[in-house]
Each structure stands twice: as structure tokens, then as C-alpha cells.
Structure 1
């Protein structure tokens, strides 16, 4: 028979044990309620011509977002349609396994991500503007994860008109055990089927024919997507030949996946800023009568990289300007990269212009 004093001690030990076991859970619950929450959705991308598919896993933390969204079909830094939109804490870790179809191999990553930087970006937000609502402060709404050959993983914060890199990470080659593959359903098992992988690479809805033909016979350019991340101090400048014409909005998209809009004070100040090399640029302008025009330029990758490399080969800290000159008829744009008294014309740039019906 257990004496009353022993029962009391036993009860106290049980109570203490339960209390200690509950403390971490209560603390986690308390911390979770204090975490900043934002409305966001997860998404994945890869460079065009190098599709991937996440086998399992996703973004983790005090929330979870699966990255298994099928075969990627877009471009580096582009967003499709996520499925897990909601108000929730931001992720602090990426843990997933994915198939690289072009390499015919599998990668795995389990890594912390820059949570503090992501929270700072979402909290601060950025100015946005449109003709209907005018200038307003907005914030990001997508956590975009990019997978490039070589196991490269880049994460961006993306919103309307702005994309900012959060961090670059690295996965390692991984072999999924055959015993695990054998237990998969028929659809999932196709991820590890050699014939199906080959068919993915031949599917023109995944890789357009012109892209496949351009890549034919060439090795995978490992390291290219890290090269895209190099930043230079530059700014866009504009020459409107018609007297009284003025550029009023600019949209910049860079090879590293980042994007930004310039308008109002930021466009007027037009400070030099460390940016990656631009992939394309769109802008709007008005003539002296208030007629609106728009234009878009798409750079030839080899040409613009050669130009930047020429200017910055001796001084990576130098400053340069991309000058866009609009002709008197407002229907053509020429582009120069300028640094001091040196300039290089980017003659292979593809230009599209239009006259707007809006005033």
C-alpha cells in the first residue's frame, strides 16, 4: 500500500513532468500567434528549356506550402498559379526533392532560408501606381522558388511590378530509393520513368520548338544563373526627340529574375542603383500634346552581356547609363550603353512601340 506522503510526491512529479512537456508546446503556440502574417502564395519556376518538377516537399516553418505543382513551363523569375493562398506566417526553411528533366537526375535540399530578410521586405512593401487608383503603398504576395541546373535554388519575394531576390541556395544530387518508388501510385511513379522524362523534354508545351532547337547540341550552361546575379551600378536615361515629350513610367526586368517599376519621385531622381543586367525594359511617355505612347525593348543576351563586361572589366564599381532615344515620330527607340565618353550601341535590341488611346 502506498503511503499518503508518497502519493503526494508521486503526484507532484507527474504534474511537474506534464508541465515541462507542455511548456515547449505552449511557447511555440505563443510564438506562432506573435509571428507577422501576410497574404501570400507559393510558386515555382525554372529557366525556359530546363524544366523541373518537385517530387515532394516545400516551404516550411510555422506554416507549410507544398511546391509540388507539376512540370514548370515558364521562364526564370516568372510566376504561374499557386494553390495555397492565404494569410499566414512566411516560411523559414525549404525542404524538397525535385526532378531536373534536362539533367535527367534528382536533387534534394533541406536548408534554412533568409526569413528575416523576407519579413523585412513584406513589412516595408513598395510604392505602386496605376491610372485608376493612383500611387499607393503595396506589398509582395508571392514567394517564388526557382530551380536551375546544377541544383541552384533562388527564392524571390514577388508582387505586382516588383520582384526582389531573397537568397540563393544549393541542393545536392539525390537518389530516391527504389523501394520508395515502387510504393508510389502510377502518376507519381512516372516521375522516375525514363521514357516519360524524355517525352517531357520533347513536349512543345513545356519547351517551345525554337528553344529546343536553339539548345540542340549544346551542353547545359552550368553556372549561368549565378552569373545573372552579378550587379552593376547603372540607371536608365531617356532622350525624347520631340520637344516637350516626357517619359513618365518605366518597367525593368532583369536576367536574375528581379523586376521594378520607376515612376514619380524615383523616376525624377533616377539615382544610380546596383542592379543585375536588364533582360527587357518597358516605358511610357507623352508628347507635347499629352498623347500617350508606350514601348518595350528586349535585349540580345550575348550583346548586352558583352557590353557590360567591356565597361566593367577593369572597374566593377563604375557607373553607367542605358540611354533610350525616342525618335521624332515616336515610333522607334535606339539604345546605348554609356560610361563617361565611351558608348556601345545595342543594335540587336528588339523594339516594339505603340500609340495609346488613353490620355
Structure 2
């Protein structure tokens, strides 16, 4: 055997051993399991449904996302729960095909996701206030997969009152072969049945009638769900009348248009520092008035007005300044306003679709 032959034999042996070691590692590696359930999300008026596939987890576990239509009746990021609650390893890959009904288009995604970030969130958990007003530690217990027009996929981790974006991924258009469709039973082939599609579009349970009329003859706003993800440096600030103060027993809750939810501890000296956050869409808080009464307050912010206000303050550059979101309650404890005020001196009010003080 000459030297070249010996070298090749040795190299092949080394590769075989290395591959075997990797396989053995995968078999013997200990996977930490957490109790969580999967879920899906779709934007209001743009229903989605997984045709087949789901989430691949560490250790070879598999979680299906094919548990029915995602109507998108609520806000983007609202998770429609599956049936898979229990202890499972954490996901590292998406692999599924889904139908975007308003586009009449199937999409496929097969991509790794940011498991490092998911592990960090699940490993640390978060603190919140219990009914007693005392802090308690909770764990994340949901993983949501959002599907939006254009093949946009977003992954969130969530717990009670908290939701964090993990990443944004892109699907690609696919066509299901006629040979595959021909083998499906009467339930599986619903995606191509006119009676089923008529139900989806017109029964009012999947797409509310007012939303259907509002979107009628309008183009699908492709790209909108990526603008939701733009982050700006801001923090919430509360201006309360007289000697009023935020209720130290109940956290302030702020939901953002990108599907994230955040809680702020009202018992701390500073409510929050400036962080990169998406535009807020709703604010919930309690405060103790100068009359020593406890008031609850909440608002749903107008999306278009939110975009306009941030445009006034930040211009075309989300990193151009830092800002406060100022929530100012009137002396009569009956109303409040929301204003974006930048360190650059620019400011603008955000209109609300609903405001309650009670």
C-alpha cells in the first residue's frame, strides 16, 4: 500500500469516526424540557391555515401546527392555542406548508429559528405581580407562530401578560401537485372546495362582516407586518393629577403592534429605561388618586395615528432620537392623553380609539 492510499484510508476512517461521534452526541445529549403549548396567529381579516407540518424540537420531538384555521379575529400576535400542552424540548426549526386564504396562495417554510434566544427566555422566566400585589416568578409557557400575507412568519414566546418576539422568517410560494390533492379525503381537500372557501370568506365567523367590508376592493397591504417590527427608543412616563400615584400593587401593561407585551413594575422608583420598542397599541394601568380612590384605566391606540406621531418625532430614522410616551391623566380622573415627546424637542399626540377611566 503506497503512502497516498494509506492517507486516503486514514482520512476516511477519521471522517467515519467523527460522524459517528456526532450521531452519538445527538443521541445522548440531555435536552432540558419545559411545559409549553404551541399556537398560531394571523392578522385581522387575513385568515391562515396550516396544511401540513409544524415545529421540530431538540431530541427529535415534533409538534404539529395543523389544528385548524387561524381566523385572525384579534390583534396580530394574539395566539390561537393548539392542543399540545405538556413538557417538551424547545424548538429549533419550522417546517410546514400553509394557506393564505385572501391571497389564495400556499406558502412553505423550512428554516432554523433562534433557539438560543428561546432558551434564554425559558431559562430566565420573568417577574410579575400576583393578586396579593407581591412579585412572583413565572415561566414562559407558549410559543406562537404568526403567519401574515406575503409569506411572513414571526415567532414569539409568551407567558401571562408578557410576549417577546424571537425572530422573523420568510416563506416561499408553492403549488400543491394535483396528484397529491387527488389522494386527499373530503376533510383534507377543504382548501380546494368551493363550499368551504365560501364559508371562510362569508360566514362572518372567520372574517367579521365589518372587516370584510372595510377591506373590500382594497389591495392586500404587503409589507405592513414588517413595519410593525420597527423599533424606537422610548419609555413610558405617567403624569397624574395632584398627589396621585401609580398603584404599586399592579403592574403597568403595554402591548405593541408587533405582538409584544411588556409589564412595568410600579413599585420601583423609575418605571422603565429607554429601550428599543415597537409602537404601542394599548396601555393598561391602575393608579391611586389624590382622593385615595383606586382607578383603573386603559386605552386602545389608533394605529394610523401612532405611525404618524412616531413619524413626526423620529422622522425617517428610528435611531434619530429617544422619546417618552407620556400618559397624562386629567384632574377629574375621567380622561387621559398619550403623547410622544422626543429629546429633539419634537412631540405629537396619539389618538385613541377607546379610552376608559373607572
TM-score, normalising length from structure 1?
A: 0.88
Give 5+ residue unaligned stretches, structure 1.
1-18, 355-359
Distance of 2:276 and 2:168 partners within structure 1: 17
Which position in structure 2 is the counterpart of 1:339? 342
Deviation at 1:315, TM superposition (A): 4.5
193-202 vs 97-106, which moves further: 193-202
In the alignment, is the contact (CA less than 8 A) between 1:335 and 1:349 conserved in 2? no
Distance of 1:146 and 1:169 partners within structure 2: 10
1:104-127 Cα deviation digits (max 9, x unpaired): 110111111111111111101111
1:63-100 Cα deviation digits (max 9, x unpaired): 21100121112331002222011111101100000011
Which position in structure 1 is the counterpart of 2:274? 272
Distance of 1:260 and 1:246 partners within structure 2: 16
Which position in structure 1 is the counterpart of 2:241? 241
Which position in structure 1 is the counterpart of 2:121? 121
Secondary structure in 1 matching 2:187? helix
Which position in structure 1 is the counterpart of 2:357? 353
Secondary structure in 2 matching 1:92? strand
Which position in structure 1 is the counterpart of 2:12? none
Which position in structure 1 is the counterpart of 2:34? 38
In the alignment, is the contact (CA less than 8 A) between 1:97 and 1:109 conserved in 2? yes
Determine whether 1:68 maps to 2:91: no
5 Å-filtered alignment, 1:20-99, equals 26-31=24-29, 34-61=30-57, 62=59, 63-74=61-72, 75-99=75-99
Distance of 1:243 and 1:24 partners within structure 2: 65
Deviation at 1:44, TM superposition (A): 0.5
In the alignment, is the contact (CA less than 8 A) between 2:92 and 2:115 conserved in 1? yes
Query: CA separation of 1:235/1:329 partners in 2, compared to 1, >3 Å: closer, same or farther?
Result: same
Secondary structure in 1 matching 2:102? coil
* Residues matched between the structures, number: 334
Deviation at 1:240, TM superposition (A): 1.0
In the alignment, is the contact (CA less than 8 A) between 1:277 and 1:305 conserved in 2? yes
5 Å-filtered alignment, 1:203-352, equals 203-248=203-248, 249-264=251-266, 268-313=270-315, 315-317=317-319, 318-340=321-343, 341-352=345-356
Deviation at 1:268, TM superposition (A): 2.5
Which position in structure 1 is the counterpart of 2:9? none
Distance of 2:152 and 2:194 partners within structure 1: 23
In the alignment, is the contact (CA less than 8 A) between 2:325 and 2:338 conserved in 1? yes
Which position in structure 1 is the counterpart of 2:7? none
Deviation at 1:35, TM superposition (A): 1.6
Distance of 1:131 and 1:199 partners within structure 2: 42
Distance of 1:133 and 1:36 partners within structure 2: 32
Query: CA separation of 1:302/1:258 partners in 2, compared to 1, >3 Å: closer, same or farther?
Result: same
Deviation at 1:196, TM superposition (A): 2.2
CA RMSD of aligned residues (A): 2.1
1:216-256 Cα deviation digits (max 9, x unpaired): 12100000000100000011111111324335431111110
Which position in structure 2 is the counterpart of 1:16? none
230-239 vs 240-249, which moves further: 240-249
Which position in structure 1 is the counterpart of 2:174? 174
Query: CA separation of 1:201/1:266 partners in 2, compared to 1, >3 Å: closer, same or farther?
Result: farther
TM-score, normalising length from structure 2?
A: 0.88
Deviation at 1:264, TM superposition (A): 4.0
Q: Between Structure 1 and Structure 2, whose CA radius of gyration is higher?
A: 1
Which position in structure 1 is the counterpart of 2:11? none
Secondary structure in 2 matching 1:212? helix
Distance of 1:332 and 1:135 partners within structure 2: 29
Distance of 2:133 and 2:323 partners within structure 1: 34
Give 5+ residue unaligned stretches, structure 2.
1-16
185-194 vs 151-160, which moves further: 185-194
5 Å-filtered alignment, 1:125-164, equals 125-132=125-132, 134-164=134-164
Which position in structure 2 is the counterpart of 1:197? 197
